[in-house]
């Protein structure tokens, strides 16, 4: 499943990461890693996580002007590799005007 969302609030990558960490702050998280990435020449935040309830997830947070755009992939354990590859292909097509 791919989830798309827009947060109508200007936030830096540090602020975005802090908000995500607060949302992920429970005992069901087994993995919660972050790194900065370039998406269409915009410095963005990538988050990979494994949750005992939701399963594997990969998310990209793109801060632009007064908003933060997010794209999140949720994949079943047996489909992680295939879904990650398809998510990467999807991200290559992302264009925010």
Closest Cα partner for 16 from 38, 49, 46, 55? Answer: 46
62 is written with which tokens?
A: 């793109």
Question: CA 23: distance to chain centroid?
Answer: 13
Task: Show pLDDT as tens, one digit a residue, over the chain (97 residues).
Answer: 889 999 999 999 999 999 998 888 876 878 889 999 988 888 999 999 988 877 889 999 999 989 999 999 988 778 888 988 998 898 888 888 7
How far, in Å, CA of 68 to CA of 80, rounded? 25
- The pTM score is 0.87
């Amino acid at each position: 499943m791919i989830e798309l969302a827009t947060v109508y609030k200007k936030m830096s990558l540090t602020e975005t990461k802090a908000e995500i960490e607060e949302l992920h702050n429970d005992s069901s998280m087994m993995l919660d890693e972050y790194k900065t990435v370039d998406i269409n020449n915009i410095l963005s935040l990538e988050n990979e996580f494994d949750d005992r309830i939701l399963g594997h997830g990969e998310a990209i947070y793109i801060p632009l002007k007064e908003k933060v755009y997010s794209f999140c992939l949720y994949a079943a354990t047996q489909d992680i590799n295939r879904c990650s590859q398809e998510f990467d292909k999807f991200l290559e097509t992302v264009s925010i005007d």
